[in-house]
Each structure stands twice: as structure tokens, then as C-alpha cells.
Structure 1
Amino acid sequence: MSAVAWTAVGSLIVWVWLLLGQGFFWRTDQRLPLRGDPARWPSVAVVVPARDEAEVLPVSLPSLLAQDYPGDAEVFLVDDDSGDGTGELARELSVRYGGLPLTVVTPGEPEPGWTGKLWALRHGMALARQRKPEFLLLTDADIAHEPDSLRELVAAAGSDGVDGFDLVSQMARLRVTSTWERLVVPAFVYFFGQLYPFRRVNGERSRTAAAAGGCVLLRAGTVERARLPESIRSAVIDDVSLARAVRRSGGRIWLGLADRVDSVRPYPRLADLWHMVARSAYAQLRHSPWLLAGTVLGLLLVYVAPPVTLVTGLLTGDAVAAAAGGAAWAVMAGTYMPMLGYYRQSLWLAPLLPLTAVLYLLMTVDSAVQHYRGLGAAWKGRTYARPEAAPEP
């Protein structure tokens, strides 16, 4: 066989393995476990780190204040040195909408060794724990919750701790409105699931750990045992780091797709999405040039080779290359369709996944370039020259 044919066959073998052997990552059926109401609803503290979030807060914060929760619950918003009046706006929204009690705190600039979000969470969680809540809900300032969201999260965790979870996290449904969002956002969640298959994360004996930082419910006792957030204070990819810390402490975790928890942050331009991915992509690879090189080669083989070998085979009359490349592309598109369906997007976007993969490849390379330029992971005016992806114990 020709080199093109061998490449096509290799890509097809990889896709068959991904289809059957990677925890069925492409399925979208991991949804919040359904449990009956507990005999007693435990107390919950909701902690919201917020830095320059005045644009989205009028949509997201009222949804938290309006939670229809039968037990005691209150909201702690950490104004992380915002310059757009985030703290003042939060207080105004609390007065306007009422609902759950709101406390706004400003911790100041982070100490050395802390990333901004985890520094904000540290202060919010410390303040919340003075009330001795049984659960803490960590949710981002751009996340909107349906009125029964907190009730369903606590019920899913199992409030009495028997056969329950120490961490319950939902991957919020991201906004998909602009052309670039349609092309990039569903693939973002698809690639995340490929790295951290939800079914494996949810396995009781699994070593795979991950969470979605926009919506994380934690038992207060688990926070103490896992030493959160101090044990992960330098992590940029804080959600995965948090889940690993919980699992190391012996906790049970659950991760799935959300039906009634949505991100309201817009990413109308490619540049917005590019920055979202590039700011932490190289940290995910532990700043290793070898892992970067392997990732680039892997993306080319897995995502780019199928359409290229199909076209090459058709043009040169190489039947093996055309057949294997076409089959690999078909399997790839087929695994992407459930995620497109979850996001209510046209299934005709599935064959464009190789194009999206090239964009992610370029974002990852750019992340490495920015790192070696000394810019590190930049976010809302802060730059971390050499952040950690997920600190080890």
C-alpha cells in the first residue's frame, strides 16, 4: 500500500478505537441523576467569583437569587477587584429582585502563587463556611440557573451522604448564536469529553477526574478533606484540578451535561473564542514541547488525515486510501452528531469538524508561543507567566 493509504488506515484504526474504547465519550446521555427529595434539605452557600462581570451579571445573578430551594441558602459574590462596578451592581440587583440573601466581599489582589479565580474562591468559601453550610455551590458569574437548579443539584448529590456524591458538576450549555460559536463551541465540549469521558469520570473506581467550573456542588466536609482551594491555588484549569483533589481525598464525583444551566457569556468573534482556548491550552499540556509536538501530530492524523487521504485517493486512484479515509471521516462525523444535537445545531456541521480541529490546533500552538514570550495565561488584565494546569499532590 502507499504511504497515503497507510495513513488513512491508521487514522481509521484510531477512530474505531475512539468510537468503542474511549468511554463512549461521544454520547450525551450523562445527565443529572434523578433522586427523590431528601427528608431534610441541607443548608447551601453559593459562592460566585466575579471580575469585571457587569455585562452578564444582570442576567445571571437574578437567576441565583430566585432559586426555589426549600432549605437555607444564601449567595456570596466575590468582587475580584473589578473596575466596572461589579460589586455595586450586584448589590443593586439584590435590592431590585430580592430572593436569597446576598453578601458581596472584595478580597483585593491575589497573593503570589494564587490565580485570580482561586484567590476569589478562597475568600468567598472562607466567608461562607462561617455559616457552617453543608454544601457549597461554586458557580461562575456568567452562569444562569433555572429556579429549580439548586434543588436538583442537592437532590442528585444525595443529601444524607449515603450512596451520594461529594462533588456534582454540570457542564453548562454554552451560548451558540454567532457563526463562530456554532463552529467552535460544540467542538469545545466534544473535545473536553474526549479528554475526560464523562462515563469514566462517573465510574466509582475510575482514576479519571474532571469537573466543569461553571457549576460545581461540593460537600463542606469534602472541602476540608481536600484542602480546597489551597491545594490547587496555582491552577489555571481549576475545575479539573478541583476534581482531582476531591478524588485524591477519597470523594465520589459526578460530571454531566446540563439541561437547565446556561452560560450567558457571548463569544461573537473568533478572537474571543481563540483567547478562551489559548489562555490555558498549553497549561493543559504541562508546558511540554514534547506533548505539544505529539498533540499536533495526533490532531493531524486523527482529524486532518481522513478528508485529505480521501481526496488524495480519489484524485490518484488509490482505492484503499479513499475508502479508509472516507470511513474514518464518516466515523468522526458520526461521533460529533450527538453533541451537535445537544446544542440544537444542524448535523451538516459534522463534516466540518476537521476544519474546527485545525483552528484548535492553531490555538494550542499560539498558547505555547504566548507562554514562551512570557505572557503565559492572560485573563482580564492578569497574566500568569507559568501557571500549573492541575497541581499534583
Structure 2
Amino acid sequence: MSAVAWIAVGSLVVWVWLLLGQGFFWRTDQRLPVRAEAEPRRWPSVAVIVPARDEAEVLPRTLPSLLAQDYPGDAEIFLVDDCSGDGTGALARTLAVRCGGLPLTVVSPGEPDPGWTGKLWALRHGMALARRGKPEFLLLTDADIAHEPDSLRELVAAAGSEGPSGFDLVSQMARLRVASTWERLIVPAFVYFFGQLYPFRRVNRKHARTAAAAGGCVLLRAAAAERARIPESIRQAVIDDVSLARAVRRSGGRIWLGLAERVDSVRPYPRLADLWRMVSRSAYAQLRHSPLLLTGTVLGLGLVYVAPPATLAAGLLTGDPVAAWAGGAAWAVMAGTYMPMLGYYRQSLWLAPLLPFTAVLYLLMTVDSAVQHYRGLGAAWKGRTYARPEAAPEP
């Protein structure tokens, strides 16, 4: 066989393994678990913590959804205004007066101490304030996340009772906004790639090594947060949601992660540049800032996503039937695994064959993330840069 044919066959073998051996990552059936005791006899108390930095644009569409939660137990909201310059805190207070509902407290902790990322610094202060009321659960949710009225009730019911049958962490991957052309092309692939890295089925197995969460919506048992020393133990994490899940699992907690049906992100990413910044700010951190892992990732993405259409085209042009057949088969398997995610996002299945193009964009975003890191710009987000976080003193 030709070298092109060997590459095509290699790519096909990888895709068959991904199809069957990577935790069925491509399936979209991991939704909130339904339990026999879904309606507890006593609803536990919950503190909702919302870190917010310059969120005045989205807050009118998201905060009212939290204030209006139909929850039978005690619940209150703590919005942490992280040094916003757009009046986020004042707007939150105005919305609380206008909408009513759950009680809201707005706090402003100031700039983060060395060794802390801004979001985790905000969570630290929100959780410290919430713990005065000794809540049994903490709902950590981003300011751009809108919840249906029964969202909190369903999350708590899914977490279940204390003990072996209950979860210490329940997280939903919010349905991201898909409206512009670039969002349709890139957003479903973002969740698809996340699931490929952290197959939800593996995350949800008891005692599994794989751990992940989606930071936009995390229900965390307060006792589990204490055991795992959240957020102090992960204070430098740029990818804070995965770090949080790992800390809870290391401390012996049970975690669950799935796709949301009634929790949505309203943050717009209308242009390619907006999505590029969103991905590149943390892509190299995901690779632990390792040049070796970056090289392996680039080569791996090339073999898995670029090789199938490239070898198909080469095989057809040169009359190499093995290269054409294997490349075409690998591309077909790839597209087939992407279709369930497109269906979840209610997008045309004709976008599935374009996944190689999207993967190339993600490859370039990852390389750009590394370049920005070595230029000292690192994970820049909303006016802050976490290039090399300073070490924080041990508590």
C-alpha cells in the first residue's frame, strides 16, 4: 500500500476505536437522572452563587430566571460583583426589586489576591457568605446562564439523598447560544470535542478516573465542598470546572455530568473573533502548557480530522482505491458521530461533513493559545490575564 493509504487506514482504525471504545462520547443521552425519590420529603436549603464581571448586557435575561425559581425549600442568591465597570452590581439590585422572588445579596470582594483567578476569588467570597446560613447545597452558576423555573428543583432532586445513592456534584452543560453562522459551525463542535475529551458516561461511573463538570451550572453538596477544600484547593485553575470535579472526586465524592434541556447560555458569540478568544484563552492550559502535548495534539488532530477528507481526495486523484475507500469510510464515521450533537442543537445534519474544517479552526486556536502564553498574554479574559499565576500561600 502507498503511504497515503496507510495514513487513511490508520485514521479509519482510530475512528472505529473512537466510535466504540471512547465511552460512546458521541451519544447525547446523558440527561438529569430520574430517581424514585425525585420528590424528597424535605427539600434541602440551597445557596445560589453567581460570579459576575461586566455582565450588565446579559443579566436582565438571566438573573430574573434565578429570582423566579419555583423551589419548595429555602433558597437565596448571592451575586458577587467582580470589580465590574458597567454597573453590574447596581443592575442586579434593581432587577431584584423589580422582579421579586428569591432573596438576593450583592457583594463586591475587590481584586483577587495573587494566585487566584477572578472567578474563583468571587466564588470564594460568595461561598464564605453563603456558609453563614449553613446551606446543604451550593448552586454555582455563571451570570450568562438562564434557568427554567423548575431548574433548581430538578437539580436537587437529581442529586438525591445523602449517602451512597446520592451525588455530591451534579453539573449540566448549558445549551450554548447558536444563532450566527459562526456559532452554528463552531459551538456544537465545542461540546462534541469536550465530550470526546471527557466522555460523560465515564464521568458518571462510580469510582471512575475521568472527572469533569460544566462550570455554568454546578450543584455542589456543601459538605463535599468542605471536604475537597473548594475553592482554595483549585484557586489557580483557569479551567476551573474540570478542576473542581477532580477535587470532589479525589475527596471521595460522586459526580454526574450531562447535557441540559432547560438551562441555556445567552452569551452571544456572533463573530469568529469572539469564539476564537473564548477557545484560545484556555486551550493551552488544557494541555498543561506542555510543548510536547501541543505537538501531539496537532499531529493527532491532523490524523483524526484532516486525514480522512485529504486521503479521500488524494486517493481519487491518484487512482488509489485503498486510500479513497479508507479515507471516505473514516470521514463517514466521523460525520456520523457528530450528527447526534447537531441534532441536540437543532442544526442541519448537512453540517456534519464540515467537521474537519471546524477541527482545523480549533487546531489553529490551540496553537494561538500557546503563542499567546509564551508572549506572556496567557488566558486573557475581561481585562485580566492569567499567564503564569503567582503561587498563593498555603492556608
Query: Shorter-chain TM-score: which interval?
Result: over 0.9
Q: Which of 294, 297, 309 does residue 296 from structure 2 map onto?
A: 294
- Could you say which residue in structure 1 is the equivalent of 2:105? 103
Q: TM-score, normalised on structure 1?
A: 0.98
Shift of 1:139: 0.1
Aligned counterparts, 1:226-265, within 5 A: 226-265=228-267
- Could you say which residue in structure 1 is the equivalent of 2:360? 358
Q: Percent identity?
A: 88
Q: Which amino acid aligns with 2:13?
A: I
SS of aligned partner of 1:130: helix
Q: Aligned equivalents of 1:305 and 1:207: distance in 2? A: 31
Q: Aligned equivalents of 1:117 and 1:161: distance in 2? A: 30
Shift of 1:162: 4.6
Q: Aligned equivalents of 1:307 and 1:176: distance in 2? A: 26
- Could you say which residue in structure 2 is the equivalent of 1:373? 375
- Could you say which residue in structure 2 is the equivalent of 1:9? 9
Does the aligned pair in 2 maintain the 1:236–1:387 contact within 8 Å? no
Q: Residue 176 and residue 387 in structure 1: after superposition, are their counterparts in 2 closer, same or farther (change >3 A)?
A: farther
Aligned counterparts, 1:147-166, within 5 A: 147-166=149-168
Does the aligned pair in 2 maintain the 1:336–1:350 contact within 8 Å? yes
- Could you say which residue in structure 2 is the equivalent of 1:347? 349
- Could you say which residue in structure 1 is the equivalent of 2:44? 42
Aligned counterparts, 1:44-193, within 5 A: 44-193=46-195
Superposed CA deviations along residues 133-192 of structure 1, whole A, max 9, x for unmatched, are 000000000000000000000000003445010000000000000000000000000000
Q: Which amino acid aligns with 2:282?
A: S
Q: Residue 186 and residue 117 in structure 1: after superposition, are their counterparts in 2 closer, same or farther (change >3 A)?
A: same
In the alignment, structure 1 segments of 5+ residues that lack a partner are 389-393
SS of aligned partner of 2:284: helix
Does the aligned pair in 2 maintain the 1:67–1:147 contact within 8 Å? yes
Q: Aligned equivalents of 1:375 and 1:266: distance in 2? A: 24
Q: Which of 303, 306, 309 does residue 305 from structure 2 map onto?
A: 303
Matched residues, number: 388
Q: Aligned equivalents of 1:9 and 1:75: distance in 2? A: 54
Q: TM-score, normalised on structure 2?
A: 0.98
Q: Aligned equivalents of 1:144 and 1:387: distance in 2? A: 31
- Could you say which residue in structure 2 is the equivalent of 1:391? none
Q: Aligned equivalents of 1:209 and 1:268: distance in 2? A: 31
Shift of 1:205: 2.1
Pairwise CA RMSD of aligned residues? 0.8
- Could you say which residue in structure 2 is the equivalent of 1:25? 25
- Could you say which residue in structure 2 is the equivalent of 1:218? 220
Does the aligned pair in 1 maintain the 2:116–2:389 contact within 8 Å? no
SS of aligned partner of 2:236: coil
Superposed CA deviations along residues 276-318 of structure 1, whole A, max 9, x for unmatched, are 0000000000100010000000000000000000000001000
Does the aligned pair in 2 maintain the 1:41–1:159 contact within 8 Å? no
Does the aligned pair in 2 maintain the 1:66–1:100 contact within 8 Å? yes
Q: Aligned equivalents of 1:294 and 1:386: distance in 2? A: 23
Runs of 4+, deviation exceeding 4 Å = none
SS of aligned partner of 2:313: helix
Superposed CA deviations along residues 32-80 of structure 1, whole A, max 9, x for unmatched, are 0112200100000000000000000000000000000000000000000
Does the aligned pair in 2 maintain the 1:186–1:343 contact within 8 Å? yes
SS of aligned partner of 2:365: helix
Q: Which moved more, 1:154-163 or 1:28-37?
A: 154-163
SS of aligned partner of 1:103: strand
- Could you say which residue in structure 1 is the equivalent of 2:393? none
Does the aligned pair in 2 maintain the 1:169–1:256 contact within 8 Å? yes
Q: Aligned equivalents of 2:242 and 2:210: distance in 1? A: 10
Q: Aligned equivalents of 1:205 and 1:381: distance in 2? A: 39
Q: Which amino acid aligns with 1:44?
A: V
Does the aligned pair in 2 maintain the 1:201–1:208 contact within 8 Å? yes
Shift of 1:386: 2.0
Superposed CA deviations along residues 85-132 of structure 1, whole A, max 9, x for unmatched, are 000000000000000000000000000000000000000000001110
Does the aligned pair in 2 maintain the 1:78–1:105 contact within 8 Å? yes
Q: Which amino acid aligns with 2:304?
A: V
SS of aligned partner of 2:139: strand
SS of aligned partner of 2:303: helix
Q: Aligned equivalents of 2:139 and 2:131: distance in 1? A: 12
Q: Which amino acid aligns with 2:159?
A: A
Does the aligned pair in 2 maintain the 1:283–1:387 contact within 8 Å? no
In the alignment, structure 2 segments of 5+ residues that lack a partner are 391-395
Q: Which amino acid aligns with 2:34?
A: L
SS of aligned partner of 1:344: coil
Q: Which amino acid aligns with 1:100?
A: L
Q: Aligned equivalents of 1:327 and 1:132: distance in 2? A: 56
Q: Which amino acid aligns with 1:223?
A: A
